[in-house]
Structure 1
Amino acid sequence: MPSVEGAAEPPTATGPLEPERTVARDGALSGWFNHETGELLPGYDASGDDVVLDVGCGDTPLSSFFANRAGSMIVADLLAENVEKAESRLRAVGARNVRAIVTDTDPLPLDSASVTRVVATEVLEHVPDPTRFMAELVRVGRPGARYLLSVPDASSEALQQTIAAPSYFEPPNHVRVFSREAFERLVVDAGLVIEHRKLYGFYWTMWWCFFWTCKQDLSPPWHPLLESWTRTWGLLLDTEQGGQIKAVLDNALPKSQLIVARKP
């Protein structure tokens, strides 16, 4: 995951503001991590027959949700320390079979048609050649394989460009910005069929804006401004119309655009 931006990790400070509860509720309202249905996101699940590949996994793989559901897990990242931590996290939450790979994905050291689920979230904006990267993801997928892909939304990136540290838009961080049309075209041109699109993350768009203003590291204790924003967002979500307002704001200024797709 990005060295400046981090892995879209929630604030983990503890205390009366309950930031973890707010982040969890925000995600749940968008359909993330549904334990009742077994879906990581609506329309995206895995079972014991699946081989899940998480590319650009960072040290906290999103695919850990499938750890005790999927038949086997593969985590891949450019940084060895991320791969080591990701593997440890997966084993700690009950993954049955884990393979960890340090790779730049050019090419992926996997056989063609060897995986059934591919997770690549907030990765494409970092890679030098997105077309080649997508070709590798498609190559390793079996017919019928399903893909969960995301990139930062162009609207949020435009906002970040006015206030972020210069390194945020320099290698190895965000080297390109995808419009929604360009992201969709990249996925379709790679040979995938788009099943579902989603915009998500107004809370995170604003969190990062405040983060740059605070000029602090990506670790607690968090600046009072960040704590105050998280508390405000939590109070909003707890209101009767909180979920409705969140949905409107997520579509107006999302942090990320997501696509669920299938290999024919």
Structure 2
Amino acid sequence: MLTVDLGRMGIAAGDRVLDLGCGGGRHAFALYRAGAAVIALDQDSEQLAEVCSMFAALAGEVPAGASAAAVMGDALALPFADATFSKIVAAEVLEHIPDDTRAIAELYRVLEPGGRLAVTVPAWLPERICWALSKEYHTNPGGHVRIYTSVELQTRLEAAGFVLRGSHHAHGLHSPYWWLKCAVGVNNDNHPLPKAYHKMLVWDLMKHPLPTRLAERLLNPLIGKSLVVYADKPLAEVPNAA
């Protein structure tokens, strides 16, 4: 289940792509399958080990020239040279980082001029409801430290030098699931209501039935769980001829 639209990213074979805060690797695997040279970066060594294993399992299924590696690193001090990547995905990461201004500056630094960034964060309304229903939802160690409005996120990206290229919301069917989880207890995995809703989400993910696909399309602008923003790093200025 991808949050970022790889078509809007313009992913092409040979693109050097960073998946910042890769987590379980869902975007990294899709980028690898698309033929990119992918670096999946995270601070969680256990998750990175699993991502490495999946990269190895996919090696025989990807286009010639594709590559993938997992790297442990800090979003506030990325272990890469300036202008290393042609594309960057930062999905559900910035809301965890107290110094998000510095993290965005690092993304700008390692993206090449003309490159594209996709940032996703929890959308304001669904996230606000989750916070209202459950303190535990956002106060766990490593949890969410802020709720972005669309304007706030886009303003921060522009302040770093990015040029905005569009936005959308995703996962409208997932917001009610998290509201249920927050209402009955985030760690209460046995409550019948979220369990039943989760089964529906799995069914939707596996079968892609038309009714739920249409429902999500209608719900995304209203209660999409994630806000996705696309932005470019401007091309370097050409010096005036003498």
TM over 0.5: yes
Is residue 225 from structure 1 mapped to residue 193 from structure 2 by the alignment? yes
Aligned residues: 225
The residue matched to 1:229 in structure 2 has which SS? helix
> Is the counterpart of residue 83 in structure 1 residue 38 in structure 2?
no
Q: C-alpha distance in 2, partners of 1:64/1:218?
A: 30
The corresponding residue for 2:126 is: 156
1:173: how far off?
0.7
* C-alpha spacing 1:201/1:71, structure 2 compared with 1 (3 Å): closer
Matched residue of 1:111: which SS? coil
Mapped partners of 2:196, 2:21: distance in 1: 31
Q: What is the distance in 2 between the residues matched to 1:246 and 1:71?
A: 29
Among 171, 176, 189, the residue aligned to 1:201: 171
4+ long deviations beyond 3 Å: 213-219, 230-239, 242-245
Further displaced range: 53-62 or 147-156: 53-62
Q: Give 1:90 deviation, angstroms.
A: 2.3
- Cα deviation for residue 248 of structure 1 reads 3.0
Match among 209, 217, 220 for residue 247 of structure 1: 217
**1:54–1:61 Cα contact (<8 Å) kept:** no
After TM superposition, the structure 1 = structure 2 runs for residues 6-17 of structure 1, keeping only pairs within 5 Å, are none
Tell me the TM-score normalized by structure 2: 0.81
**1:188 paired residue among 158, 162, 171:** 158
Higher helix share: 2
Residues 96-107 of structure 1 correspond to what in structure 2 (within 5 A)?
96-107=66-77
Which runs of 5 or more structure 1 residues have no equivalent in the other structure? 1-23, 34-39
Which one of 102, 105, 130 corresponds to residue 100 of structure 2?
130
1:177 aligns with 2:142: no
Q: CA RMSD in A?
A: 2.7
Cα separation, partners in 2 of 1:71 and 1:236, compared to 1, 3 Å? closer
Q: In the alignment, what sits opposite 1:59?
A: 24
TM normalised by structure 1 equals: 0.75
- 2:39 aligned to which of 74, 94, 106: 74
- The secondary structure found in structure 2 opposite 1:93 is helix
SS in 2 for 1:185: helix
CA distance in 1, matches of 2:84, 2:130: 38
Which letter does structure 1 place at the counterpart of 2:224? P
Deviation track 1:204-255 (CA, whole Å, cap 9, x = no partner) reads 1111111234436497xx643234325667599644xx55543332211221
State the distance in 1 between where 2:186 and 2:130 align: 16
Point out where structure 2 has 5 or more consecutive residues left out of the alignment. 235-242
Structure 2: distance between partners of 1:262 and 1:218: 41
Structure 1 residues 42 and 236 mapped into 2: Cα distance closer, same or farther (>3 Å)? closer
Q: State which of 84, 107, 111 in structure 2 corresponds to 1:114.
A: 84
Identical counterparts, % of pairs: 25
For each residue in 1:123-155, what CA deviation from the matched residue of structure 2 results, as whole angstroms up to 9, or x when unmatched?
Answer: 000012111101101101111111111111110
Contact 1:59 1:81 in 2 (8 A): no
Distance of 2:138 and 2:84 partners within structure 1? 34
Matched, 1:145 2:110: no
What is the distance in 2 between the residues matched to 1:201 and 1:81? Answer: 27
